[in-house]
Amino acid sequence: MATTNFPSAPPKRRRIGVLTSGGDAPGMNGAVRAVVRMAIHSDCEAYAVFEGYEGLVNGGDMIRQLHWEDVRGWLSRGGTLIGSARCMSFRQRPGRLRAAKNMILRGIDALVVCGGDGSLTGADVFRSEWPGLLEELVKTGELTEEQVKPYTVLNIVGLVGSIDNDMSGTDATIGCYSSLTRICDAVDDVFDTAFSHQRGFVIEVMGRHCGWLALMSAISTGADWLFIPEMPPRDGWEDDMCGIITKNRQERGKRRTIVIVAEGAQDRHLNKITSSRVKDILTERLGLDTRTTVLGHTQRGGPACAYDRWLSTLQGVEAVRAVLEMTPESPSPVITIRENKIMRTPLMDAVKATQEVTSHIKNKDFATAMTLRDSEFKEYHYAYLNTATPDHPKLNLPEEKRMRIAIINVGAPAGGMNQASRAAVAYCLTRGHTPIAIHNGFPGLIRHHADKPVSSVREVRWVETDAWVNEGGSDIGTNRGLPSEDIDTTAKCFKTYKFDALFVVGGFEAFTAVSQLRQAREKYDAFKIPMVVLPATISNNVPGTEYSLGSDTCLNALIDFCDCIRQSASSSRRRVFVIETQGGKSGYIATTAGLSVGAVAVYIPEEGIDIKMLARDIDFLRDNFARDKGANRAGKIIMRNETASSTYTTQVIADMIKEEAKGRFESRAAVPGHFQQGGKPSPMDRIRALRMAIKCLMHLESYAGKSKEEIAADEMSATVIGVKGSQVLFSAMGGESGLEANETDWARRRPKAEFWLQLQDTVNILSGRSGSKATWSCYEDDDRIQAPSPHP
């Protein structure tokens, strides 16, 4: 998740328009909210164009200024509150001429467009024609030269809102993960029926030209077979599919069968593959009781998930920043994301690459179509093919390259642990390695002496891990115990069970455990094996990564909790809730959750809490409620990390606010506790668990055949995998430049440099807590703020 440095106010007051076009996608409201509030903070004016380009062409009341309070509560709302419509008139020059006139009359000189590739292409065409449109308006007498003179340049910035995630150059588009969540919830719901009756289900999901939703839902639900437009199955796929499903059911004992079909699925001759056809094949050839489910537009509905909320917020903020920094020579940018970094990409480059994919599919050049998708898509496709079922004889390694790989979970439970362990087992079996599960962490390993083998260390079969695909927590068990509690016995166990490699999934304790094992190599040869840590903790406090498995699941649980709390606070109109979050001594969860729910303030241990801070925030709340006069749905939320202060507890802060409110508003404390660990893992944690785990296993198997001395001498033999900026990297734990010495705050159990800290600035700016004078400019002429109707 990238941070942003905010520009100072421009020399003149700018007017920035924002519109949503094409289809709707969860998260679009968050983008509009961010654009509006960031524009006001930057001493600009924000205008909403209702009903997309239709509103731009028609003008009048369909282009309206939005103030700070107008977008309150928009983060949790689905769809797009300013409307979206496909506009045929804007595709013609006369329509764009009218749109240009309406923008000049409103004084709008920049436009942020949130939509798909068609909407963004139209925006760039509009910008390229802008000088000619103004010239024609003057020539025909529609406008005067004095009117158009200040607006000779039109700046366009694109945001991609699409549930299909079909834009090249970005890992995710606004709305795609919310849609994926709807799909996974639906498939999870049919699991019990499929298992009980040993049925098959064919699930059709959206995606006419892009198979992202289908691929990610197949990974997230452990589907037996997948159909996507970019990579059709080979001829004879009917036999292949039936063969795999039969083997899974009869030889491996699976009771349920799931097949995912993208709506644009086709064979290699471009013949459409329908969900009904797949269902008939399973029924007729296998005699399988099969049902078809077409999810349709349910995939578009509902509130945005945590990822789409912070993505739309940060991209909206970056869009305003891009507007303020653009020059007449700058190409129109589209705001994208690569791994965890918000970036700008030339808009038309992204659109061209997107359209080339479709063109190659139509020309049956499927290999090229796959190469033009982003690298993350290709990696996920490879990961799915090689773990959906361990039936790939050609991928088996020779005997001398096969390893006994131990899999262990260490630390508190986190969403994604089961999925990472499942992926590791499947990959091991695919390659011919032996996966060995260590139950209940290091205490489970050392509970008995090494010469007394126990069931806590055993080989794992594929079929038992298949059920882990949507389960939370850790099926093999996890705890905070470390090898240092009995390092001698730990070494004896490693030797007894002949571990050739160690795959550790967990949080800061997992990081500490591998550090201890690495440092003990001088004394114990048994530890001279490759070891890798896959971070999994809701606190997201492991050095070497900006993302840990479980953190997204935690955030989704938190925003669900906060949405319910906000509803209560908004219903009573004049209530503040102080919500306590977990996270240890890292404020990541509190800050990111605060960004995702529109918190008024976030208190974290990195900054601490003092009486002056509380006094300022109470004054801010008092002023806010006084100006609002109860007219708006103005319930408010404050997030507090559990260790932010030992004195100013959650209840104490709530009591202080209540006392100082003097009856004008009230406050409550709420502690979600272990609810934050979540139930079923989020789709993001599921799919990233697969991708990261396979990368880890590939890293471990690269040491096959090496001597213990060679392994011990290699700093990369003890590593942490992680997301850093726009890349996924392995970082050495030891050595002069290793994580242990340079990047770890051991006392506070967190990285020395926390990438997300500047997000506090974003939270403060978008809540108005930063003290910007422009924030309250909307109150100067009217002390009773009425939010506009979503439709003109």
* Sheet hosting strand 200-205, strand order edge to edge: 225-227, 257-262, 200-205, 290-294
468 neighbors 460 (Cβ within 8 angstroms): no
| Phi, psi of 669, rounded to the nearest 5 degrees | -105, 145
Give the position of tokens 């949130």.
114
Query: What is the Cα Rg of the chain in Å?
Result: 28
Q: Coil, helix or strand for 243?
A: helix
pLDDT band at 777 (very low <50, low <70, confident <90, very high): very low
| CB neighbour list of residue 227: distance below 8 Å, 6 or more residues apart | 211, 214, 233, 259, 260, 261, 262, 265, 273, 278
pLDDT at position 774: 38
β-pairing verdict for 15-20 and 45-49: parallel
Two tokens, residue 134? 């103004």
For the stretch 643-673, pLDDT in tens is 999 999 999 999 999 999 888 888 999 999 9
Two tokens, residue 447? 């509970």
pLDDT higher than threshold 50 for residue 787: no
Two tokens, residue 385? 């093919």
pLDDT at position 480: 94
pLDDT band at 9 (very low <50, low <70, confident <90, very high): very low
pLDDT at position 634: 60
The fold of the 393-549+681-734 domain, in CATH, is Rossmann fold (3.40.50)
Average pLDDT in the 142-150 region? 93
Q: How far apart are the first and last CA of the chain?
A: 36
Average pLDDT in the 518-540 region? 97
Two tokens, residue 136? 């024609």
Annotated binding site for beta-D-fructose 2,6-bisphosphate: 480, 537-541, 575, 582-584, 642, 668, 674-677, 749
- Rounded Cα distance between 473 and 512, Å, is 20
pLDDT at position 779: 36
The fold of the 177-299 domain, in CATH, is Rossmann fold (3.40.50)
pLDDT higher than threshold 50 for residue 789: no
pLDDT band at 771 (very low <50, low <70, confident <90, very high): low
Annotated binding site for ATP: 23, 86-87, 116-119
For the stretch 421-452, pLDDT in tens is 999 999 999 999 999 999 999 999 988 544 45
| Phi, psi of 645, rounded to the nearest 5 degrees | -160, 140
Q: Quote the crossing angle between the two packed helices 212-221 and 375-385, to the nearest 10°.
A: 40
Of 217 and 456, the structure prediction assigns the larger pLDDT to 217
Looking at the domain that runs over 552-679+758-769, which CATH code has it been given? Answer: 3.40.50.460
Catalytic residue among 164, 475, 500, 685: 164
Two tokens, residue 190? 């049919």
Two tokens, residue 241? 């599919």
- Rounded Cα distance between 30 and 76, Å, is 8
- Rounded Cα distance between 222 and 681, Å, is 13
For the stretch 556-609, pLDDT in tens is 999 999 998 887 776 666 889 999 999 999 999 999 999 999 999 999 999 999
- Rounded Cα distance between 684 and 708, Å, is 37
pLDDT higher than threshold 80 for residue 633: no
Two tokens, residue 95? 């329509």
pLDDT at position 573: 63
Architecture of domain 15-173+304-359: 3-Layer(aba) Sandwich (3.40)
Task: Give residue limits of the domains in the chain.
Answer: 15-173+304-359, 177-299, 393-549+681-734, 552-679+758-769
326 neighbors 127 (Cβ within 8 angstroms): no
For the stretch 168-183, pLDDT in tens is 889 999 999 999 999 9
| CB neighbour list of residue 667: distance below 8 Å, 6 or more residues apart | 575, 576, 577, 578, 654, 655, 657, 658, 661
- Rounded Cα distance between 71 and 63, Å, is 15
Q: Which of 217, 329, 309 is nearest to 563 (CA)?
A: 309
pLDDT at position 197: 67
List residues bridging with 408 in a β-sheet: 438, 504
Of 460 and 378, the structure prediction assigns the larger pLDDT to 460
Active site residue 164: yes
pLDDT at position 249: 87
Average pLDDT in the 68-92 region? 90
Q: In the chain, count of helices (H) and strands (E)?
A: 26, 25
| Phi, psi of 557, rounded to the nearest 5 degrees | -65, -40
β-pairing verdict for 457-459 and 434-438: antiparallel
Q: Which of 552, 518, 511, 554 is nearest to 534 (CA)?
A: 511
* Sheet hosting strand 575-581, strand order edge to edge: 601-603, 636-641, 575-581, 666-670
β-pairing verdict for 333-338 and 155-160: parallel
pTM flag (> 0.85):
yes
Largest CA distance in the chain: 96
31 neighbors 161 (Cβ within 8 angstroms): yes
For the stretch 347-364, pLDDT in tens is 999 999 999 999 999 999
pLDDT at position 629: 55
Question: How many other C-beta atoms can be found within 10 angstroms of the C-beta atom of residue 567?
Answer: 14
pLDDT at position 371: 83
- Rounded Cα distance between 412 and 538, Å, is 9
pLDDT at position 10: 38
- Rounded Cα distance between 194 and 21, Å, is 39
Query: Is residue 397 classed exposed, middle or buried when 0-12, 13-18 and 19+ CB atoms within 10 A define those classes?
Result: middle
Q: Coil, helix or strand for 544?
A: coil
Annotated binding site for substrate: 162-164, 199, 206-208, 263, 291, 297-300
Q: Which of 40, 345, 4, 302 is nearest to 173 (CA)?
A: 345
- Rounded Cα distance between 767 and 634, Å, is 12
Annotated binding site: 23, 86-87, 116-119, 162-164, 199, 206-208, 263, 291, 297-300, 480, 537-541, 575, 582-584, 642, 668, 674-677, 749
- Rounded Cα distance between 540 and 750, Å, is 9
Q: Of 45-54, 226-235, 370-379, 530-539, which range is least confident? A: 370-379
177-299 and 552-679+758-769 have identical folds:
yes
For the stretch 201-235, pLDDT in tens is 999 999 988 999 999 999 999 999 999 999 999 99
pLDDT higher than threshold 90 for residue 551: yes
Annotated binding site for Mg(2+): 117
pLDDT at position 780: 36
